[in-house]
Chains A and B, each alone.
Chain A
Amino acid sequence: NAGVTQTPKFRILKIGQSMTLQCTQDMNHNYMYWYRQDPGMGLKLIYYSVGAGITDKGEVPNGYNVSRSTTEDFPLRLELAAPSQTSVYFCASSYDGSKDTQYFGPGTRLTVL
């Protein structure tokens, strides 16, 4: 199993550009999550999904969109990039949401200039 994979590893965007961060898991997990981590801080939840076709907002959803058309994939979309979105983005998955372990991907480092 590859676990949770994320692409790209690094990206630089100009203000106003858009992009999609990809996340795929091969563990047949129902739950998937997107977090962001600013320098020196802990992770903050952006969006999560409890299954294909179902998504919900987390703590910091503004400026982002997600979709979950399959169990495996959970892409994160930035429509109009802003410098405040410069961060490291982590995708995670778990089989069950209530107390199951979350498995994290390696992260995408995004810089918006």
Chain B
Amino acid sequence: DAKTTQPPSMDCAEGRAANLPCNHSTISGNEYVYWYRQIHSQGPQYIIHGLKNNETNEMASLIITEDRKSSTLILPHATLRDTAVYYCIVRLTGANNLFFGTGTRLTVIP
């Protein structure tokens, strides 16, 4: 099981920040939160990951609550090319794979 809960779909206006929530209330202390996205028909693409501190890279920011039971992926200035399915994944410690749920389908609207 994916151990995460995400809304099935969201819309965002082009140029605005897209905030994608994820609940992972059963996360363990040494489990990481990963975000991947899948643009239509392509292979998933890594975005960002974190353990307990907030993280930022050239693609996005990841905000993890202090109790680690939820997180938010932020795309600061969404473009049409950000339209994709976004997967929030809790990476099991020592596991060699990723458990994908059904993700959030983000549609960026012109």
Residues of A within 8 A of B (CB): 4, 31, 33, 35, 40-45, 48, 50, 56, 58-59, 88, 90, 92, 97-99, 101-107
Contacts and interface: CB of A to CB of B under 8 A. Distances in A.
Interface residues of B, number: 22
Contacts of B45: 104
A84 to B, nearest CB: 19
Interface in B49-103: 49, 87, 91, 93-103
A38 B48 CA distance: 25
B42 A43 contact: no
Contacts of B101: 42
A107 B41 contact: yes
Nearest to A3: B43
Nearest to B45: A104
Interface of B: 2, 32, 41-46, 49, 87, 91, 93-103
Given A41-B102, A42-B103, A43-B100, A105 B93 contact: no
Q: Return the 5 tightest CB-CB contacts between A and B, nearest first.
A: A104-B43, A42-B100, A97-B96, A43-B100, A101-B46
A41 B8 CA distance: 11
Contacts of B87: 42
A58 B97 contact: yes
Nearest to A98: B94
Contacts of A35: 100
Given A48-B97, A58-B97, A104-B43, A40 B102 contact: yes
Contacts of A31: 96
